[in-house]
A and B are shown apart, each in its own frame.
Chain A
Amino acid sequence: MSATLIDGKAFAATIRSKVADHVARLKKEQDLTPGLAVILVGEDPASQVYVRSKGKQTTEVGMTSFEHKLAADTSEAELLALIQHLNANPEVHGILVQLPLPDHMDEDLVINAIDPAKDVDGFHISNVGLLGTGQKSMVPCTPLGCLMMLRNHHGSLSGMNAVVIGRSNIVGKPMAQLLLGDSCTVTVAHSRTKDLAEVVRRADIVVAAVGRPEMVPGDWIQPGATVIDVGINRIEAPEKGEGKTRLVGDCHYASCAEVAGAITPVPGGVGPMTIACLLANTLTAACRANGLPEPDGLTA
């Protein structure tokens, strides 16, 4: 292997400690404690794990965590009423509704009911438009984490050829906006793209976010390119024993690492950055809500 490993776990820890320092300062100087409210509807086991992890990390950096667990048969009106209540609560600076929601709820309607200034996931239609027009917004956590890692590794991204594989609303499209904002030349490739290998070979930066295990082989990568692998896929691992599984990314790690200049592993790459960016967004929202300057380097 020749590529430098981009250690998301370690970098996320430095982001969290930066956030914790700012939180401590806000408490001392402004008597202000940033607060994050997380709403979970139903009992999806994966969502329960995420919500627990978010709550734990929120309190670890010194913020207040508000957890709202609602039964799966909660009505949409009740959920909307809770969001209104949190929108009006000055101690809550960030609101996150854990997705997916049960089938009887309209996700767009629920997300767009959140005050855009408290929309720490960055999914509200106004935040999408503000990002699209280069204005101050709340930036979706996963692409923000990727951007922070790229900036940390390269310094300036200006003039680099970036290829984003995948055009999802939560990763691919905001990632393209953020890379354009940092003056990359950006191509968004996806399932309809002809000759994907050729497109990817032109890239100095590859961000893979499609959710297909090990889809990108090493011979698609330009020597020396930086590979950010957003995919988290569980595949069978018979070598570990019957019925065992392991996590892999959208890139074939071993062959890509032979060619790339730098690469994020899965797990331990982009994943840990996502919650760190959620905390960074909550801090940013708390500063904006109180007319305080935003901390440097923690948003786009």
Chain B
Amino acid sequence: MRAALIDGKAIASDMRARIAAEAAELAEAGWQPKLVSISVGDTAAADLYVRNQKKQAESAGVQFEARAYPGETSLEQLTGILQGLNADPRVNGIIIQRPLPPHIPVKVLQKLVHPLKDVEGMHPASIGNIVYNDLALAPCTAVAAVEILKTLPLPIEGLNVTVIGHSEIVGKPIAFLMMGLGATVTVCHHMTRSVAMHSRAADAVFVAVGKPGLVKGDMLKPGAALIDIGINRVDGLTVGDADFDSCAEVAGWITPVPGGVGPVTVATLMQNAVLATRMQMDQYRESYAQTDV
């Protein structure tokens, strides 16, 4: 193996230490960061994630309340619940766990979360902000992938980047975050004629499509960075979208799956929680804390 392995766990652990210090500082100022997670219906699939988020939150000094509602909860009831959380000054971030029952449209719920409490970065206003280069709250997985690339000794301005997959929560936000940082970005997807032609031209490749083995070593430029966002189960093993062995022979850096982007994503959620709390504190001070008449 030629590529250097990118240690997502170590990056996440550094981030958590920074976040914990900031969370303590906010708590000191009377703004203890707090997340509320909403699950609806049969939550077995999401339970593992929720438990993991709770554990990570606690180690980063962020309070975490997990709420589970029955599957027959109506959209109107959930709307009321979200409005309550939006208004509650002690809640700084809202997470909507997926999957949701079929009668609850996820995009409608995401739009109901106040943009300042949108720690998942899924509100249209949050996406609009990253397109406009205001890098406030952005989708966690996309931010995590970009944060990982930033730890490498590659100058991002002018870097040729290929993003494989154009999903709204990963591929496209990565493209706009990287574009904002000055990279030349190409977005490929299932209609792209030759992914290899684009990936071979890239100094950094992000892949997020959910197809194991999609990227092979001969599709990479020697020495390129490969950030693998895919999480697939194959024969009882968790693998990414890249064929790890052949890619590791050609790439300069590569993220393992598991242990690459995943841990950094959860740390990013906590970073967003702290960021959201700070934005709310600033807004409060601007709007309500004036003593002048």
Are B188 and A129 in contact, with the CB atoms below 8 A?
no
- Chain B 167-211, CB-CB to A under 8 Å as 1, else 0, gives 010001101100100111111110111000110000000000000
Q: Which of A126, A158, A186, A188 meets B124, CB within 8 Å?
A: A126
Are A127 and B128 in contact, with the CB atoms below 8 A?
yes
Interface size of B in residues (CB-CB distance below 8 Å): 34
* B131 proximity list for chain A (CB < 8 A): 128-129, 132, 169, 173, 177
Tell whether A105 is near chain B: CB-to-CB under 8 Å. Answer: no
Docked Cα-Cα span, A169 to B179, in Å, equals 12
Docked Cα-Cα span, A251 to B286, in Å, equals 48
Tell whether A240 is near chain B: CB-to-CB under 8 Å. Answer: no
CB under 8 Å from chain B, chain A span 139-196? 158-159, 161, 167, 169, 173, 176-177, 180, 183-190, 192-194
Tell whether A89 is near chain B: CB-to-CB under 8 Å. Answer: no
Q: Who on chain A is nearest to B132 by CB?
A: A169
B162 to chain A, nearest CB (A): 9
Sorting the interface of chain A by its residue count into under 10, 10 to 19, 20 to 34 or 35 or more gives 20 to 34
A171 to chain B, nearest CB (A): 13
Tell whether B158 is near chain A: CB-to-CB under 8 Å. Answer: yes
Are B129 and A199 in contact, with the CB atoms below 8 A?
no
Given the known A-B contacts A192-B157, A194-B160, are A187 and B184 also in contact in the complex, defined by CB atoms under 8 Å? yes
Are B157 and A126 in contact, with the CB atoms below 8 A?
no
Are A126 and B125 in contact, with the CB atoms below 8 A?
yes
Tell whether A297 is near chain B: CB-to-CB under 8 Å. Answer: no
Q: Which of A124, A125, A132, A185 meets B176, CB within 8 Å?
A: A132
* A180 proximity list for chain B (CB < 8 A): 166, 172, 187, 189
A297 to chain B, nearest CB (A): 21
A64 to chain B, nearest CB (A): 29
* B103 proximity list for chain A (CB < 8 A): none
A30 to chain B, nearest CB (A): 28
Tell whether B123 is near chain A: CB-to-CB under 8 Å. Answer: yes
Are B187 and A186 in contact, with the CB atoms below 8 A?
yes
Are B123 and A183 in contact, with the CB atoms below 8 A?
no
Are A132 and B127 in contact, with the CB atoms below 8 A?
yes
A288 to chain B, nearest CB (A): 16
Docked Cα-Cα span, A177 to B179, in Å, equals 13
Q: Who on chain A is nearest to B126 by CB?
A: A129
Q: Which of B124, B132, B158 meets A130, CB within 8 Å?
A: B124
Most A Cβ at <10 Å: residue of B157, B176, B191: B191
* A133 proximity list for chain B (CB < 8 A): 107, 124, 127, 168, 172
Tell whether A134 is near chain B: CB-to-CB under 8 Å. Answer: yes
* B127 proximity list for chain A (CB < 8 A): 128-129, 132-133
Q: Which of A128, A135, A190 meets B184, CB within 8 Å?
A: A190
Are A159 and B186 in contact, with the CB atoms below 8 A?
no
* A176 proximity list for chain B (CB < 8 A): 175, 187
Q: Which of B128, B184, B198 meets A126, CB within 8 Å?
A: B128
- Chain B 127-158, CB-CB to A under 8 Å as 1, else 0, gives 11111100000000000000000000000011
Binding site for A on B (CB under 8 A): 107, 123-132, 157-158, 160, 166, 168, 172-173, 175-176, 179, 182-189, 191-193, 197-198
The 17 listed contacts between A and B (C-beta, < 8 Å) are: A125-B128, A127-B128, A128-B127, A128-B131, A129-B129, A132-B131, A132-B168, A132-B172, A133-B107, A177-B131, A185-B191, A185-B193, A186-B186, A187-B187, A192-B157, A193-B158, A202-B197
